[in-house]
């Protein structure tokens, strides 16, 4: 009985420390993220030959993606570490699955390559430009920015639908290589899900292209402003107040902006 009581006390102490810790690496949502990585690696390992196990682990990892966001808000453990870790986990898992699909469907290799290039490049430049603009997160889209992207990142329901539909589309494409799945109303279930999720996957790719285009446009705007500032410096010496404040150019002014639009935590 004493051993049981000590064990319960130890478990309670550990849980309380997890809820109150300031160590970002031990935040509840980040621990969920680590579990996602384990499930993802296991799914990739058995993917070539064990479709049921691979698909289950892959989709389970995707489902946990929704829970870590809720955990971050519930336990007040939001962090830049989690946002970046979550995004990289999503991108790497999808890329690894697409590589496997390219071996299953060699005639569609170009389509898979195009999907990977678009996904990685557009997300990377969007995040890079967001940081240069001084935003707290790449999910911060201001009221004056693109309406579609703002709705995409501020509506948790829409964001979850897009991400889940995209991952489900590729998962069904993977499963269809091995089996058509159970029959539902006389039609193969996996094929039905593939057809339903296909428009979602296409639309999400278009949104990625849109955010990539806007990011490149904003990055070019930063360069133009800096060049204009350099031209002005040739004819005007910097004021003492600007030197005291450490102001060196338009990018410093942009970096002072705060993003106040919508939640930074996705599903």
Q: Which residues are catalytic?
A: 90
Please state the φ and ψ torsions of residue 77, each to the nearest 5 degrees: -125, 40
Find all residues with CB under 8 Å of 99, minimum gap 6, and list them. Answer: 112, 116
Angle at 130 between CA 124 and CA 132, to 5 degrees: 105
Helices (H) then strands (E): counts for the chain: 10, 2
The token duo for 59 is 């989709």
Q: Which of 2, 170, 24, 173 is nearest to 93 (CA)?
A: 170
Residues 156 and 263 sit within 8 Å (Cβ to Cβ): yes
Q: Within a 10 A sphere around the Cβ of 53, how many other Cβ atoms?
A: 14
Comparing CA positions, the residue from 83, 88, 80 lying closest to residue 123 is 88
d(CA 198, CA 166): 8
- Cβ-in-10-Å burial (0-12, 13-18, 19+) of 226 comes to middle
The answer to whether 166 and 97 have CB atoms below 8 angstroms apart is: no
């Amino acid at each position: 009985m004493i051993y049981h009581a000590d064990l319960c006390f130890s478990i309670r102490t550990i849980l309380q420390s997890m809820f109150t810790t300031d160590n970002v690496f031990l935040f509840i949502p980040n621990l969920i993220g680590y579990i996602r990585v384990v499930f993802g690696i296991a799914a990739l390992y058995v993917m070539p030959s064990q479709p049921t196990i691979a698909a289950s682990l892959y989709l389970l990892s995707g489902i946990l993606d929704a829970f870590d966001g809720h955990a971050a808000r519930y336990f007040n453990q939001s962090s830049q570490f989690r946002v970046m870790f979550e995004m990289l986990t999503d991108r790497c898992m999808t890329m690894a699955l697409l590589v496997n699909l390219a071996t299953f469907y060699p005639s569609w290799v170009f389509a898979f390559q195009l999907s990977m290039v678009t996904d990685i490049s557009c997300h990377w430049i969007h995040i890079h430009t967001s940081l240069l603009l001084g935003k707290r997160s790449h999910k911060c889209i201001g009221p004056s920015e693109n309406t579609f992207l703002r709705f995409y990142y501020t509506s948790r329901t829409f964001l979850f639908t897009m991400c889940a539909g995209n991952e489900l589309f590729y998962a069904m494409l993977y499963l269809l290589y091995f089996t058509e799945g159970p029959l539902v109303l006389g039609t193969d279930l996996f094929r039905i899900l593939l057809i339903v999720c296909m428009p979602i996957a296409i639309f999400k790719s278009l949104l990625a292209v849109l955010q990539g285009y806007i990011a490149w446009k904003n990055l070019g705007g930063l360069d133009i402003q800096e060049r204009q500032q350099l031209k002005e410096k040739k004819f005007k010496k910097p004021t003492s107040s600007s030197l005291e404040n450490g102001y060196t150019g338009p990018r410093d002014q942009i970096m002072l902006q705060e993003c106040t639009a919508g939640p930074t935590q996705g599903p």
